[in-house]
Amino acid sequence: MYRKIGVPIDLAHADRMAGAITMAADLAKLYGAAVCYIGATTTTPSSVAHSPEEYKDKLAAFAQKEAQAHGQEVTTHVILSHDPTATLDDDLVKAVDEIGVDLVVMATHVPNMGDHIWASNGGNLARRTKASVCLVRAPA
């Protein structure tokens, strides 16, 4: 049913994404699909990495750890952005299309008042790509 599963990862909050990561791994095993971890970083130093190259290495190390934990091959895709906060939705849509993802599994938060004003990243992906989108809420 699915050939390639994209998993957006925020390395600064990877510990809160365990449910989405596990679900993506389980679905990949069920459907024989490939998994691609997608991360976004700035071209300037951040709390996660001092450079895009360091971020790429950290995302690759994270993906390798998950590959070993779940017994499957994975790939990574790094989005370089001058302002990920402002451009993340557009960047994710572009990445999903470029990579050929047909299912996105991503972590989400418990809805709050801000969600009535600003649309969610997952909602934007569902509206703007051909990929199916599965949102996984972290336990409270």
List the one residue out of 128, 66, 140 whose CA is nearest residue 92: 128
DSSP string computed for 25-83: HHHHHHHT-EEEEEEEEESS--SS-SSHHHHHHHHHHHHHHHHHHHT--EEEEEEEES-
Q: Is the pLDDT of residue 115 over 70?
A: no
CATH class of 4-137: alpha beta
* Amino acid 119: pLDDT: 63
Q: Residues 64-114: pLDDT tens digits?
A: 999 999 999 999 999 999 888 889 999 999 999 999 999 999 998 655 555
Average pLDDT, the chain: 91
What is the domain partition of the chain in residue ranges? 4-137
Instruction: Say how many C-beta atoms besides its own lie within 10 A of residue 92's C-beta.
Output: 25
Q: What is the pTM of this model?
A: 0.90
